[in-house]
Structure 1
Amino acid sequence: MKFKMKWYRRLILLNRRRSILITFVVLVTLYLFILSFRNTFLEQAIQKAKLKLKRDYDCELTVKEARFSGFTEVELQEIALVPIQKDTLFTTSSLKIKINFLPLLKGAIQVHSLTLENTSLALLKNKKGTNYEAFLKKKDEDSDAKHEKIDYADLAERITSSLLNFIPENMKAHNLKFKVQENRNFVQATIPEIQFTNQTFNFETHIKTENSEQHWILNGKANPRKRKATIQLSAKNDSIIKIPFIKEKFGLKTEFRKAIFEIYKMELHRNVFHIEGKTSIENLLVHHKKIAPKDITISNSSVSYHTLIEERSVTIDSSSVVEVEKIKINPYLKIQKEQDTTITASITIPKIKAQDFINSLPRGLFSQIEDLQIEGNFDYHFLFAYTTSKPDDILFESTLTNDKLKVTRFGNADLLKLNSDFTYQPIENGIPQQKIFISPNDPNFIPLHEISPYLQKSVITSEDPFFFQHKGFEPDAFKQSILKNIHTKQFSRGASTISMQLVKNIFLTKEKTITRKLEEVILVYLLENNTNVKKERILEIYFNIIEWGPGVYGVQEASQFYFDKSAKDLSLEESLFLTSIVPKPKKFIWQFDAYGNLKKQVSDRNKFIESVMLKRGLITPNDTLIKPSFSIKGPAKKYLKIAIQDSIVPDSISTDLLILDLPQ
């Protein structure tokens, strides 16, 4: 029995040795075969690349010399990529690249090391056109592929894998240049030396534009195989980094002292592609005229993100956190594409001390509330959902939970002054207009109870139907506004309540910026929830300060200007007309035809407001039966006469009407 076992073991051992020997011989033969023909394969590969670049991208590729310098290492000399009749896109005097062998057996090209000498990449746009446009054009797909649903998670994994495989584990570069130029605007980055070994790097970059020069320092760690990285960007001698090119091209000024970019995870797990990381920025400064009139500064800010890419959806998970000083915000966004597209978004601000929130707001963002002193806490939640197949079922919720909020001192916007006499001076295009004294002592001021009820009811119906019910905001108005803007695919309707319009006129500038709207929302909340300013007082001030025509402020002045009478004597028809010009007061004359009659669309709108007032019981049928003839009788009449006598279309009015300052 023992003898048989020994014989069997010897046979197994002999077979193993034979298998190893055969494998060794095959590998050696394969290796010798590759060695014998690898340069031929390399030349063929380069020729194929040349043909493909010329056929698909209209580019000429030249390589002076190409050879293998190791088993999987290739060295190329004097490479140039030049789009036909365009400026040179890429050049390098020497490129040496080594590929990892094991992934190559699986059909994947994974770069182990890369060495570059005197390399230049230039993306140029000038009179000749762009030298990179051909590479951005989308290729035609097969008809079957067009109708095939894309698996977003699989696509993200394939793109990530391909890109990271081309990032070398080790890299050396000498005299590396990148240039982006659009006509006269350009930015050029020059890197004298790059050493990327043991997953660490630290190198200096010289940034040059037409008007400035900077020295940036990039350092950190990166492991392309484990898909993790930490990159720090700062300026030499602890100076400020100024992002070039975008200021000249887009008018966006961006500066910061230091930025750290971290990637924790990029992987496909159970058919879900996860991306997790964090970006932190110190001493950020941003300025754009569409954001705010002043520089916006933030000492410390960060974004921790967790993105989930599934088969048919992309989600920014609510575990993501945006931090600005002591403010923490949890955003959520999911875009899902099936038969239709569904968008779900939410913003949550966990419970925070109100004063910490005010103190953490970026400087320069909200100038009217920077010195606000407030007690108590609050938390906030916003939810929005929209499906393309059911646009009318839009979901819009905005909830602020007030925990003993109390203003102890107002900032620059002293809302309490609304309860007393004050002076208001409108500003148009930076030019101060006539002062308006909100006081019974002013001859043009008219108390609310003396303003025609018709005018009060028609303006409220048109501008803010639930003025006396809401606390500064009307969610349904926001929903309708969003729906209108979605249907028209442009910002064609706002959702400002009367309280919002009042705050905007008295305390804020007229620049149409993102921050002005946000500041308006904060001030309105404080006005309606943290002052004893009554609704009637808000309405009274509103009627006495808003513009009712070019240079015409206050309802009493408007009544004299159009009808040569007091605001208390306005008829229903006259009130409807004044209501119609509130949204665009400078354009009142465009509401009339060449014969001095109201245009049909204006009359139809007035009839609609009248019908709504009837349905809500704000007026009676008897009010609509007795209609005195409607006509302009005040000083405004002479402008209509000019239009009739001269038979000039509105766009051509130029002489006597110039004093109206009407926008073209």
Structure 2
Amino acid sequence: MRISPSTKRILLGVLGGLVLLLVVAFAIFQWKRQQLLTYALGEIKTRVERKYPVLLTLGPARFTALNTVEIQGLTVVPREAPTDTLLTARRMLASLSVRSLFAGRPVFSGLEIVTARLTARKTPDGDNFGFLLKKDKAAPKVAVDTTKGTNYGLLLNQLLEAGFDNVPDEASFRDFVVSYTGLTHRALLRMPGLTIDDGDIKGRLSANVDSEVNELGISGHIEPDDYAVDVKLFGVGGSVQLPYIPQRFGALVSFDTVQVRLTERDFEKDDTGGRLTLRGSLAARNFSLYHPKLADSEIEVREGALNFVATLGRGTAALENGSELVVNKVTFYPQISVRLKPSRAVRIKVESAETPANDFFASLPTGIFSVLQGTKGTGTLKYQMSGSVDLAQVDSLRFDSSLKGKNFRITSFGEEDLNKLNTDFSYTAYNDKGDSIRAFTVGPSNPDFVPYNDVSPYLKSAITTAEDPRFFTHKGFMEKAFVMSAIQNIKEKRFARGGSTLSMQLVKNVFLTRQKTVARKVEEALIVWIIENTRLVSKQRMFEVYLNIIEWGPSKYRWPSGKRGVYGVKDAALFYYGKRPDELNLAESLYLASIIPKPKYARESFDMYGDLRRSTRYFFRLIADLMEKRGLISNGERDNLPYALNLNGPARGYMHFAPRPDTTRAAPADSSMYEPINLIDLLNTGAGNDAGANVGAPPIGPR
């Protein structure tokens, strides 16, 4: 069928009209769309400035595609500091639903920010970011008791709301730099790329905080409406070193990977401002912690996780029942509460699951239990601990700790064979600086070794009375003595008091170092528990080894044979009295017992002429009284106790006593006011039943 020329002209005219109409319509659409876009951005600017005290400036905006909007530049400046720009962005791209635009409710998605700078500053006069922690103006005003301290629940809840409320569903950041300059800290975060796609997070960043630089990767998922997040941070090319901790606490903390989960947030307002409850977890791989007061090397945990139920309120924070701590293969159930005002107080309760022995030993963190690394056994172990203290009343300290075994038995030892205490073994004595002083064999193969039965009964009784009255009946620990030591250490904010049993002193000398760290005490306690509760070594053998290795005089003294120091009971008897250990009398034994905590200061027991000082005579009388009460000496031996010593060994010349003057001088009377030790402990009127006399003496020497 042929179309006539006139028909063609009509069709072409109609088509041309339609095209023209479409072009005009499209032009109107484009003009209207741009107009609506300008209007929508103006509305956004108004809403933002109404909600926050800022000035928002948006650069020229245009459609680069049907539903893609490009904004050339953005700045956010606090009204109170118009010269202190908080945020700038060179270019932003976003998807915009055209339908929503024409409906008057523009919906943006897929935000992309290119070359942005978020610059936060804090000065003595204020900051440029505090408005983000905007309080709820509609909340009723309540009177706040400032004596109860900061409401950490309210503060953290404001931070969470500010963070989650500003997280977009979809976003992409390229060349995004966040910097913070405070009064004492600086931080710089560089994000070459970070994306949020339907809640999924992925990206990399470089963090420089207080000169600590880390290269990090980040991945995870976030649900802003539910206040839920599951994010993993991991080191890129190495471990991650936590900033701030070194400057604030003098500690080093690092990890390979850490995963943070927040699954539930519940904030309840009350007359204190509010109480926040959080549920979630914190897990880490290859976690490392170093602090010189904790251990002399890094404490490392391969895998650890804390599933927490935490509450925060005014001046309080707590890890509640339902929390779970996993250290490698051992699970603990901790409950901890901390009160900061009106006085600081801590309450703690920890219980472990019943754990197979091999899992227990395999889970011990390295850097703490070096002696026990590789130990294997059968049966199960379960740990329990509870304690509380009000630091305004330190004497309120309560502490209880126990490790219980069920069908427990050691099948093989690790780095150290604890069974060596039953055989001849090599012992090296060190000074406080860690220098080797002398090495010798402990056992019958050494001619200087003194068997238990060849030691004066007076000396054995004096040592146990002064150091550890219940040595032959307890299982390695004296809880009351430990608590009293802890109270004094807290008061003086240092390791001022020992409280160690003879078992603990023995283990420390044979297997461990002299460093006063938390890790050493923990390892010491576990080794003692194993030895005592598996009956690995008899009490008599333990005391025998103890008597033959402890330091009893100046380490600088050199014997004619060339050996250095005064170590063991044979050296002590010869050095001070020129006698054999079985020849020591009561007074001589009491003196040797008195200097065990401080052998380097043995000279201070005497005055310039070689007479015993009042403090030493007081110790003699006190220990002799206790020995008599325990039936270790007779009443006659107590009454006839001399308060003088004949130093017939090398000690007299080494101590350099002055010649006695020609004139007769009266010896000063004993003073009942002198109190070198805790009389309540010693007189058995309080906790003395669980403590030795030297518990109160400075722990210098073999403690």
Q: Same fold (TM over 0.5)?
A: yes
Inter-CA distance 588–383: structure 2 relative to 1 (3 Å threshold): same
1:621 paired residue among 635, 649, 662: 635
In structure 1, the partner of 2:241 is 243
Distance in 2 separating the partners of 1:203 and 1:636: 72
Aligned to 1:278: 281
Partners in 2 of 1:306 and 1:637 — Cα distance?
A: 65
2:221 aligned partner: 221
By how many angstroms is 1:94 displaced?
Answer: 4.5
- Is 1:398 aligned with 2:398? no
The SS at the match of 1:465 is coil
Tell me how far apart the structure 2 counterparts of residues 228 and 82 of structure 1 sit (CA, whole Å).
33
**Closer, same or farther: CA 222–367 of 1 in aligned 2, 3 Å:** same
Residue 512 (1) aligns with residue 516 (2): yes
SS at match of 1:401: strand
Structure 2 CA distance for aligned equivalents of residues 211 and 313 of structure 1: 32
Deviations 1:390-429 (A, max 9, x none): 7556433223332111112222322222222222122333
Distance in 1 of aligned mates of 2:617 and 2:84: 62
Distance 1:231 1:537, change over 3 A: same
After superposition, the C-alpha distances for 1:473-492 in whole angstroms (9 at most, x for unaligned) are: 12222222233334444432
Using the TM superposition, name which of 170-179 and 473-482 deviates more: 170-179
Alignment length, in residue pairs? Answer: 563
1:448 maps to amino acid: Y
Distance across 1 between alignment mates of 2:487 and 2:367: 32
**What letter is aligned with 2:648?**
K
Q: Which among 563, 567, 586 is matched to residue 600 of structure 2?
A: 586
- Alpha-carbon distance between aligned partners in 2 of 1:612 and 1:180, rounded to the nearest angstrom: 66
Instruction: Note if 1:493 corresponds to 2:523.
Output: no
Q: Distance in 2 between matches of 1:116 and 1:577?
A: 80
Query: Which structure ranks higher in relative contact order (CA pairs < 8 Å, sequence separation ≥ 6)?
Result: 2
- For residues 593 and 182 of structure 1, the distance between their equivalents in structure 2, rounded to whole angstroms, comes to 59
1: CA distance, partners of 2:498 / 2:84: 47
What amino acid does structure 2 have at the position aligned with 1:565? K
Distance in 2 (CA, whole Å) between partners of 1:480 and 1:442 is 39
Q: How much does 1:325 deviate?
A: 2.1
Residue number in structure 1 paired with 2:388: 385
Residue pair 1:164, 1:225 contacting (<8 A) in 2 also: no
For 2:595, the aligned partner's letter is I
Residue range with higher mean Cα deviation, 356-365 or 609-618:
609-618
CA contact (8 A) 2:164 2:227 kept: no
Q: Give the Cα–Cα distance (whole angstroms) in 2 for the partners of residues 333 and 221 of structure 1.
A: 30
Q: Is 1:335 matched up with 2:349?
A: no
Which runs of structure 2 are paired with 1:443-482 in the superposition (5 Å)?
443-482=447-486
The TM-score normalised by the length of structure 2 is: 0.68
Give the structure 1 partner of residue 234 of structure 2: 234
For structure 1, list consecutive stretches of 5 or more residues without a partner in the other structure.
1-30, 47-62, 99-111, 124-130, 137-143, 646-660
Deviation larger for 373-382 or 355-364: 355-364
Separation in structure 1 between the aligned mates of residue 496 and residue 212 of structure 2, nearest angstrom: 41
For residue 330 of structure 1, report the CA deviation from its aligned partner: 0.9
- Cα 1:353–1:68 change in 2 (3 A) is same
Q: Which protein is richer in helix relative to its size?
A: 1
Q: 1:154 to 1:263 in 2, by over 3 A?
A: closer
CA separation in 2, counterparts of 1:444 and 1:165?
Answer: 73
Q: One-letter code of the match for 1:560? A: L
CA shift for structure 1 position 458: 2.0
Residue 133 to residue 408, structure 1, CA distance change in 2 (3 Å): farther
State yes or no: 1:526 paired with 2:530. Answer: yes
Bigger Cα displacement from structure 2, 155-164 vs 629-638: 155-164
1:374 aligns with 2:377: yes
Shift of 1:449: 2.1
Change (3 A) 1:311 1:234: closer
- 1:525 deviation in Å? 1.3
**TM-score (norm. length: structure 1):** 0.72
Partner of 2:265: 266
Q: Measured at CA, do residues 564 and 149 of structure 1 come closer, stay the same or move farther in structure 2, by a change above 3 Å?
A: same
Tell me whether 313-322 or 293-302 shows the greater mean CA deviation.
Answer: 293-302
Tell me: CA distance 1:92–1:452, structure 2 relative to 1, closer, same or farther (3 Å). same
1:572 match: 586
Contact 2:424 2:445 in 1 (8 A): no
Equivalent in 309, 319, 326 of residue 322 of structure 2: 319
Conservation of the 8 A alpha-carbon contact between 2:427 and 2:442: yes
Distance 1:398 1:288 in 2: 24
Displacement of 1:292: 3.8
Q: Which amino acid aligns with 2:576?
A: Y
What residue is the counterpart of 1:637 in the other structure?
652
For residue 167 of structure 1, report the CA deviation from its aligned partner. 3.9
C-alpha contact 1:79 1:93 (8 A) present in aligned 2: no
Is contact 1:153-1:268 (8 Å) kept? no
Matched-pair contact (CA < 8 Å) for 1:205–1:217: yes
1:260 to partner: Cα distance: 0.9
| Partners of 1:375 and 1:333 in 2: CA distance | 32
1:188 shift after superposition: 4.7
In structure 2, what is the equivalent of residue 432 of structure 1? 436
**CA-CA distance at 1:513 after TM superposition:** 3.0
Q: CA deviation at 1:350?
A: 1.3
Give CA-to-partner distance per residue, 1:306-361, whole Å, 9 cap, x none: 11336675321232111122111111112357876653211111111111111222
Q: What amino acid is the match of 2:264?
A: K
| Cα shift at 1:524 | 0.9
- Give secondary structure in 2 for the equivalent of 1:547: coil
Tell me what 1:653 maps to.
none
Helix, strand or coil: the match of 1:623? helix
1:287/1:179 CA distance change after superposition, 3 Å: farther
CA displacement at 1:590 relative to structure 2: 3.8
Q: Is this contact kept in 1: 2:218–2:234, CA < 8 A? A: yes
Letter paired with 1:397: D
Aligned to 2:365: 362
Instruction: Give the whole-Å Cα distance in 1 for the aligned partners of 2:343 and 2:505.
Output: 37
Q: Matches of 2:124 and 2:620 in 1, distance apart?
A: 53
Shift of 1:227: 1.7
Q: Which moved more, 1:418-427 or 1:290-299?
A: 290-299
Equivalent position of 2:22 in the other structure:
none
- Give yes or no for contact 2:376–2:411 (8 Å, CA) kept in 1: yes
Whole-angstrom CA distance in 2 between matches of 1:379 and 1:192 = 49
Letter in 1 for 2:380: N
Corresponding residue for 1:127? none
Q: Please state whether the residue corresponding to 1:215 is helix, strand or coil.
A: strand
| Residue from 295, 301, 319 that aligns with 1:298 | 301
Q: Which stretch shows the higher mean deviation, 576-585 or 608-617?
A: 608-617
Structure 2 distance, partners of 1:433, 1:623, is: 38
1:127-155 per-residue CA deviation (whole Å, 9 max, x = no partner) reads xxxx756669xxxxxxx856554695863
How many Å apart are 1:169 and its aligned residue? 3.4
Q: What's 2:353 paired with? A: 350
Shift of 1:572: 2.7
User: In 2 relative to 1, CA 457–301 (structure 1 residues): closer, same or farther, beyond 3 Å?
Assistant: same
Shift of 1:231: 1.1
Q: CA deviation at 1:230?
A: 1.1
* Contact kept? 2:75, 2:85, Cα under 8 Å: no
Instruction: Report the residue type matching 2:255 in the other structure.
Output: F
Does the residue aligned with 1:370 lie in a helix, a strand or coil? coil
Partner of 1:542: 546
Q: Decide which structure has the larger Cα Rg and report it.
A: 2
Report Cα offsets for 1:162-190 as digits up to 9, x if no partner.
Answer: 54466443666554445689999987532
Shift of 1:252: 4.5
Q: Secondary structure at the match of 1:263?
A: strand
